[in-house]
Amino acid sequence: MARFILQRLMAALVTIWIATIAVTILIHLVPGDPVRIMYGSFQTTPEELEAIRVRLGLDQPIWRQYLMYLGRLLHGDFGNSIVGDQPVIDILMTRFPSTLALTLSSLFIAVVVGMSLGFLAAYKRGTWVDVSAMVLAIVGVSMPHFWLGLLLLFLFALQLQWLPVAGGDWRSLILPALTLGLANAAVLARLTRSAMIDIFDQDFVRTAHAKGLPKSIVLYRHALRSGLVPVVSMLGLQFAYLMGGAIVVENVFAWNGVGRLAIEAVFARDYPLIQGFILFFAIIVALASVVIDVAYAFLDPRIRYS
């Protein structure tokens, strides 16, 4: 098991490493002179621009720029933001807890709602329960985050006035978490349904029935645990979607997380901050997939022991 975790961690490191290369190249993909793009809007003289270029190392060949960048990263230095000239890592870390709260509660909602709905639909395959659950799921999958968010805002915050439109406390977390969670619940529901339909037809489920076990034991101990394996393996990807969705949802609900920060950085053309954000995002997603993989291995002994 330790070897397995080590392997997954290595894979995550490779992913992050590739992200660092992408981030370095990114700034050179934008047409024109990066320094001019970043600082050109300020009142800067050509001499000042040249000084910035030297300070950022942008006068060096790209491979050296990359090595310098990597060296700084290894010291935990993500560079400084243009706006405010603060360390990027500090800015990210102050805003990240809000995003973490949002994504984790959305994930919780997605798992609970999505898996139950999918399981129920599979169990009641072909009945009206199945059909309505899947219609709901299609609606959920098709509806863009911002639209669902606005609908929920309108209903619960404006019409019913049960929940605040925005703010910082836990009550204002409910609507964005629901928005993000329900959309992902729809994806999970479809996945769980097809996985469970597969499982219900398996020989070992028939064996469990033939043993005269109560239905609840057949369903939960034998079927659900096996059916969860493919679903959990998809959770890693789901988490990445969730993080992406957080950028939109945080803006709709004025939730002060890194997603909102990213949009601010884009509008301000704050390249170091954008770079930092992308890399940070990559690290979070890579680490999340390690966690998911380990959970996956824990569920499926065939992976655990190979």
**8 A C-beta contact, residue 283 and residue 126:** no
Rounded CA-CA distance 67/304 in Å is: 37
Sign for the CA dihedral angle at 148, 132, 192, 190 comes to negative
CB of 10 to other proteins, least distance (A): 8
Closer by beta carbon to other proteins, 72 or else 225: 225
Q: Helix count (H) and strand count (E) of the chain? A: 14, 0
Decide whether 147 or 204 has the Cβ nearer to other proteins.
Answer: 204
Say how many residues touch other proteins, by CB under 8 A.
25
Chosen residue from 229, 283, 287, 295 binding other proteins by CB under 8 A: 229
Q: Does 198 bind other proteins (CB under 8 A)?
A: no
Supply the DSSP string of 257-291, one letter for each residue: SHHHHHHHHHHTT-HHHHHHHHHHHHHHHHHHHHH
Contact letters for other proteins, residues 5-34 (x by CB under 8 A): --x---------------------------
61 binds other proteins (CB under 8 A): no
For residues 270 and 29, give the distance between their C-alpha atoms in angstroms, rounded to a whole number. Answer: 16
Query: Residue 208 interacts with other proteins (CB under 8 A)?
Result: yes
Q: Does 209 help bind other proteins (rule: CB under 8 A)?
A: yes
Q: Which of residues 118-137 bind other proteins (CB under 8 A)?
A: 126
Tell me the closest approach of the beta carbon of residue 207 to other proteins, in angstroms. 5
126, 117 Cβ separation under 8 angstroms: no
Q: How far is the CB of 130 from other proteins (least distance, A)?
A: 12
Q: What does the buried/exposed string (b/e) look like for 166-201 if buried means 16 or more CB atoms within 10 Å of the residue's CB?
A: eeeeeebbbbbbbbbbbbbbbbbbbbbbbbbbebbe
Which of 75, 302 has the CB closer to other proteins?
302
207 contributes a contact to other proteins by CB under 8 A: yes
**Paired residues of 80 in beta bridges:** 87
Mark the segment that binds other proteins (CB under 8 A) among 54-62, 180-188, 219-227, 279-287: 219-227
- Tell which residue, 149, 150, 169, has the closest CA to residue 98: 169
Is residue 3 within the footprint of other proteins (CB under 8 A)? Answer: no
Residues lying near other proteins in the complex (CB under 8 A) are found at: 7, 126, 202-204, 206-214, 217, 221-222, 225-226, 229, 299-302, 305
